[in-house]
């Protein structure tokens, strides 16, 4: 599925799907979205129903020292598409798109987006074979007709892990137009009260 088709799917996500009894839906007509995890289990994503809920813990922090926690640009590299939550939910439901949590393991262990794959930014270039690239003498050959469409995310708009991974992928030969960036990351995901898998959720 190309990016325009993914965007179209996101816009129509839930047309004709009646909302449940939940007060806090994902969108006007969508109360939940079910995704399949890399292990094959199904997980239902919804929003917290407590309308008084607030973010607590590390993701409630709004002031982080820069450097190194500087605000990231909307697009980390030319040709990469930045997406929001509805497009991310559509990608999670598409078996042809891999959603990648590019945070280091200690961050990943605090909880992640259901259906995403852990691939730390420090390992990304060494693992391009998992995304359809072929090893060659100079690194990898990444055929645009073969490699997976991917969405990368990290901790939030102040986190440089996924932008760094994206730039490294492109430098290694991965086609930029096959990469999307969920800039709001875990902070935005948690801010909206969406389901978190693993960690202390």
For 146-155, the pLDDT digits (tens) are 999 999 999 9
pLDDT at 26: 97
Please report whether residue 58 resides in a domain: yes
Please report whether residue 196 resides in a domain: no
pLDDT in tens, 98-118: 999 999 999 999 999 999 999
Please report whether residue 11 resides in a domain: yes
Number of domains present in the structure of the chain: 1
Average pLDDT of the segment spanning 175-194: 98
Please report whether residue 198 resides in a domain: no
Gap between the Cα atoms of 199 and 111, Å rounded:
4
Here the CATH number for the domain that contains residue 157 is 3.40.250.10
The average confidence (pLDDT) of the chain is 90
Please report whether residue 126 resides in a domain: yes
Gap between the Cα atoms of 3 and 19, Å rounded:
26
Give the relative orientation of helices 3-12 and 85-92 as an angle to the nearest 10 degrees: 100
Please report whether residue 149 resides in a domain: yes
Element (H, E) at 83: strand 81-83
* Full domain range(s) for residue 127: 3-15+23-191
pLDDT in tens, 44-87: 999 999 999 999 999 999 999 999 999 999 999 999 999 999 99
The confidence band for 3, taking pLDDT boundaries of 50, 70 and 90, is low
What does the buried/exposed string (b/e) look like for 13-34 if buried means 16 or more CB atoms within 10 Å of the residue's CB? bbeeeeeeeeeebbbeebbbbe
Statement: residue 16 has pLDDT above 70: no
Please report whether residue 163 resides in a domain: yes
Please report whether residue 199 resides in a domain: no
């Amino acid at each position: 599925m190309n990016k325009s088709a993914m965007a179209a799917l996101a816009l129509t996500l839930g047309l004709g799907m009646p909302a449940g009894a939940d007060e806090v839906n994902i969108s006007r007509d969508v109360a939940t979205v079910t995704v399949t995890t890399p292990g094959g289990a199904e997980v239902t994503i919804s929003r917290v129903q407590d309308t008084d809920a607030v973010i607590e813990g590390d993701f409630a922090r709004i002031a982080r020292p820069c450097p190194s926690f500087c605000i990231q640009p909307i697009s980390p590299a030319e040709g990469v598409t930045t997406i929001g939550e509805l497009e991310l939910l559509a990608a999670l439901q598409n078996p042809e798109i891999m959603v990648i949590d590019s945070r280091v393991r200690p961050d990943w262990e605090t909880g992640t987006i259901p259906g995403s794959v852990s691939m730390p930014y420090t390992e990304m270039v060494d693992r391009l074979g998992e995304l359809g690239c072929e090893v060659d003498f100079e690194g990898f050959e990444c055929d645009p007709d073969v490699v997976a469409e991917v969405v990368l995310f990290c901790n939030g708009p102040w986190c440089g892990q996924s932008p760094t991974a994206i730039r490294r992928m492109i430098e290694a030969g991965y086609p930029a137009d096959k990469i999307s960036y969920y800039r709001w990351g875990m902070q935005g995901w948690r801010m909206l009260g969406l389901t978190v898998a693993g960690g202390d959720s």
